Amino acid sequence: MAIHITDDAAADELLTTNPFALLVGMMLDQQYPMEHAFLGPQKVVSRFGSFDPAVIAAADPEEFAALCSQTPAIHRFPGSMAARLQELARIVVDDYDGHAERIWTEAADAKDLSKRLQALPGFGAQKVKIFVALLAKQVGVAPAGWEKVSGDYALDGFRSVADVVDPVSLQKVRDYKKEKKAAAKAAG
């Protein structure tokens, strides 16, 4: 299934065809608008010429950080995210032979997948839930018990990037997040 998150055909194609790009987009999706976070991999490709985890892991850290900081940057914190991206690339290379999809395709079950994802930089419990729902809903990979791991994100509705399929659903997810943020602020 094609992914439609960024409203940029090349970026969405990269997310659809490159599991490492999808994983990196999810990693970048924090304190930054989701559609911009998922544009990050395409920005790297256009500047670096590759999105191969081995090439990214081997890149000079200072040069890679500078590349990620060029306007428009890959994130509002481009230096720290460049380092995190390289660390993620190293893990994918060292633990999964450079194949990010092995993180989910070789997981024994949803609990194992959750453990594998939480071992990655930038993946806390909530992000893992969202990514598992994204895999199930958008990519069609649903390990046994994924609904229990992804919780509310497995439900119908517009709660996260897992529910974005077009500009209308993107706006619905934004509205949902805005409501949740306002409710949290009001609660103190």
For residue 182, the SS3 value is helix
Q: What is the DSSP letter of 54?
A: H
pLDDT tens for 36-46 read 999 999 999 99
- Written as tens digits, the pLDDT of the chain (188 aa) is 688 888 899 999 999 999 999 999 999 999 888 889 999 999 999 999 999 999 999 999 999 999 999 999 999 999 999 999 999 999 999 999 999 999 999 998 888 999 999 999 999 998 998 888 888 777 767 666 666 666 666 666 677 777 777 778 777 877 887 887 788 788 87
Kindly report the three-state secondary structure assignment for every residue of 126-164.
HHHHHHHHHHHHHHCCCCCCHHHHHHHHHCCCCCCHHHC
Distance of CA 100 to the CA centre of its chain: 12
> In the chain, what are the domains?
9-187 (1.10.340.30)
Cα–Cα distance list, 59 to 41, 70, 90, 116 (Å):
15, 16, 11, 25
**186 vs 42: CA distance, rounded Å:** 37
Q: Which residues contact 68 (CB under 8 A, 6 or more apart)?
A: 43, 44, 74, 75, 78, 79, 81, 82, 85
Task: Choose among 106, 95, 111: nearest CA to 141.
Answer: 106
Q: Where are the alpha helices (DSSP H) in 29-166?
A: 34-37, 40-48, 53-58, 61-69, 78-96, 102-105, 110-118, 125-134, 146-150
Cα distance between residue 104 and residue 143, in whole Å = 8
